[in-house]
Amino acid sequence: MEKIVERIKELKKSRDAVILAHNYQLPEVQEVADYLGDSLELSRIAARIEAKVIVLCGVYFMAETASVLCPDKKILIPDLQAGCPLANMITAEDVRKLRASHSKAVVVGYVNTPAEVKAELDYACTSSNAIAVVNYLSNYEEIIFIPDKYLTDYVAKKTNRKLIGWKGYCPTHAKITLEDVLEQKKLHPSAKVLSHPECKADVLQVSDAVVSTSGMCKYVKDSPAREFIIATEKELIHRLTKENPGKSFFAASDLAVCPNMKRINLEKVLFSLEDLKYEVKVSPEVRKSANMAIERMLKIV
């Protein structure tokens, strides 16, 4: 493994490349990454850095979003099969049909969507800023909010708005049950419960904070608490432990593992740098519309 890591470092220099890794990636992939973050963080990092090549260790829609934000850079994903089940639960045609059924509605979509879906949106949003985006759209009587039904429910309750949702969900977060969290709370009564808004409503109700993965990192850093129950994909605990020595973390559920995130390993990162594959490139037409939705979001938050 040491030889692979050294070779990756050599190729990063010769290729003028950086490695961006999502918080759910395998620990060894996180360790070779230049930057860690959630989906939008990684795309924004990709847009501002000067490297010619970006190896994005995450799932496919993240690489697409990076391509939308920085079309002049070569965006690589080490495994083309690293897809996102939630993102794949809605299509651009689905959005067009929703819009046709609610002609006066504004369409807000989660960044966890394919680029072609983003191109159909009026506004994009993330799990951390969805409430702010919906509150900003107070002049609209109807808001279509896609595709995650649990995030939709959470945002609707927090904004006191009736949102027109979709049937999508994250299978990994859906595996985390209320019983799981209560069992961990019984084992660690002083622990704070941090939950991702893609979790089910009953899990969110017993949480001390409902935050994105980047929000969890900030919460833990700022909190005087020493123990935390983490209700999201369990690999985030690697980063939390590394950045917060002396604090303890417990996965809400051992089943909270995203198999698609785990498709990428060190060998695939190496092969991606050696062969400059697999490139993800969004067409100019899709990029223009998708970027508009993202830029509108960024102006709000």
Instruction: State both tokens at 78.
Output: 């080490």
pLDDT at res. 39: 85
pLDDT at res. 36: 97
In CATH, the architecture of 2-82+261-282 is 3-Layer(aba) Sandwich (3.40)
Name the pTM for this structure. 0.95
Buried b (16+ CB within 10 A) or exposed e, 56-73: bbbbbbbbbbbbbbbbeb
| Whether CATH 3.40.50.10800 fits 87-169+286-300 | yes
Dihedral sign for Cα 176, 178, 184, 189, please: positive
pLDDT at res. 169: 98
pLDDT at res. 47: 87
pLDDT at res. 282: 97
pLDDT at res. 85: 97
Q: Can you say how many angstroms the Cα of residue 295 is from the centroid of all Cα atoms in its chain?
A: 17
- Give the containing element (helix H, strand E) for 138: none
Question: CATH number of 176-251: 3.30.70.260, 1.10.3720.10, 3.40.640.10, 3.40.50.10800?
Answer: 3.40.50.10800
For the chain, which ranges sit under pLDDT 70?
none
Buried b (16+ CB within 10 A) or exposed e, 285-294: ebbeebbbbb
pLDDT at res. 26: 98
Q: Where are the domains of the chain?
A: 2-82+261-282, 87-169+286-300, 176-251
